[in-house]
Chain A
Amino acid sequence: DSGVTQTPKHLITATGQRVTLRCSPRSGDLSVYWYQQSLDQGLQFLIQYYNGEERAKGNILERFSAQQFPDLHSELNLSSLELGDSALYFCASSVAFTGTDYGYTFGSGTRLTVV
Chain B
Amino acid sequence: GQQLNQSPQSMFIQEGEDVSMNCTSSSIFNTWLWYKQDPGEGPVLLIALYKAGELTSNGRLTAQFGITRKDSFLNISASIPSDVGIYFCAGDGQNFVFGPGTRLSVLP
Q: Which of A's residues lie within 8 Å of B, judged by CB?
A: 2, 4, 33, 35, 41-43, 45, 48, 56, 58, 90, 92, 98-100, 102-109, 111
A residues in contact with B30, CB < 8 Å: 100
Write the B27-44 contact mask toward A (1 if CB under 8 angstroms, else 0). 000110101000011111
Q: Is the CB of A107 within 8 A of B96?
A: no
**Minimum distance in angstroms from B74 CB to a CB of chain A:** 15
Whether the pair A104, B45 counts as a contact (CB closer than 8 A) is yes
By the criterion CB–CB under 8 Å, are A105 and B45 in contact?
yes
Task: Number of B interface residues at 8 Å Cβ cutoff, please give it.
Answer: 22
- Judge whether B92 is part of the interface by a CB distance below 8 angstroms: yes
Closest to A92 in B: B42
Chain B positions near chain A (C-beta within 8 angstroms)? 30-31, 33, 35, 40-45, 48, 88, 90, 92, 94-101
Given contacts A33-B95, A48-B95, A58-B95, contact A108 B100 (CB under 8 A): no
Say whether B95 contacts A45, CB under 8 Å: yes
Chain A residues within an 8 Å CB radius of B42: 2, 4, 90, 92, 106-109
A113 to B86, CA, bound (A): 22
Extra contacts besides A100-B30, A103-B48 (9): CB < 8 Å: A43-B43, A45-B97, A90-B42, A100-B31, A100-B92, A103-B31, A104-B45, A104-B96, A105-B45
Neighbour of B41 across the interface among A43, A56, A100, A108, CB < 8 A: A108
Q: Contacting B98 at CB < 8 Å: which of A2, A43, A56, A102?
A: A43
| A56 to B8 Cα, complex, angstroms | 30
